[in-house]
Amino acid sequence: MRMATGENTVGDVFSAGAEEFHSWSRVLWDPVGEATADVAAPTGGESVLDACCGAGASALPAAQAVGAAGRVDAVDLADGLLAIGERRAREEGLANIRFHRHEVTSWPVPGSGYDVVQCGLGVFFFPDMDRDSAALTRMLRPGGRFVVTVWEKGALGGWQAALRGAVLTERDLPRPPQMEQLARIDTAGTLAAWLTDLGGSEPRVVQRRFDAPLSPETGWELATGSGARRMLDGLSPAAVERVRAEFTARLTADAVTDLDVRVLTGAARFSG
């Protein structure tokens, strides 16, 4: 596997690792997506915008919830993940959901706006989290719900430490901007305060924690099928293989056999 050179967009990164991403859907992305949709609580006939939808982890349960009278627009820049989402919607017989490749902050809002705008594990990837999230809130009808899920502080600890340590044997690794943004909202208190600062009312935050089984092989699939893939960008095939070997050795040595999943889902109403 040769990682692409140059500055890839987030959509490029996730498209390149789409199948590896989807291999984690059942044990990671889908439970996190269901947690997002549970807090959003869309009901029959409502309209939902799922921003940064990926392969549909939160969009698909939202489509189930709103029923035939409702609609879900699922928007992302990763073609590979959108194709998987479309396939899954067909398999589930969902005719009320559409997947779109579009920059979500400039998505054309239908009618009077959405009842729900939800974004699972996506807002911290925006170039400017505050500005771009505010743009999403303006897509709501008055009184609509804005719902975001983020990694909680300390999530993915053992896996992340092993991967970062392995990559550092090949290259310097500055802290990426998305991690700086995430660090501002990775506790229940800071996430609720951020939603309030955006203009939301009645903020609430729900925590979910669980362990997902992890092996060296599946851990590497997660590394190449998530935003972490960007750490490998530009490395030669030989360097990527050395990183893989070092990473799997570290997981084994540290007895990391579970992925420590911790997420926070925050919701607030916006008056428009």
Q: Are 37 and 118 in contact (CB under 8 A)?
A: yes
**Cα(167)–Cα(30) distance, rounded to whole angstroms?**
28
Q: Which residue has the tokens 């690792």?
A: 17
**Cα(117)–Cα(143) distance, rounded to whole angstroms?**
12
Which token pair is 25? 């859907």
pLDDT tens digits, one per residue of 109-160: 988 899 999 999 999 999 999 999 999 999 999 999 999 999 999 999 999 9
For the question of whether the overall pTM of this predicted structure is more than 0.85, the answer is yes
pLDDT tens digits, one per residue of 195-231: 999 999 999 999 999 999 999 999 999 999 999 999 9
Provide CB contacts within 8 A for 140, sequence distance 6+.
113, 114, 115, 116, 117, 146, 270, 272
So where are the chain's domains?
A: 10-153+176-209+261-270
Which token pair is 42? 């869309």
Top-level CATH class of 10-153+176-209+261-270?
alpha beta
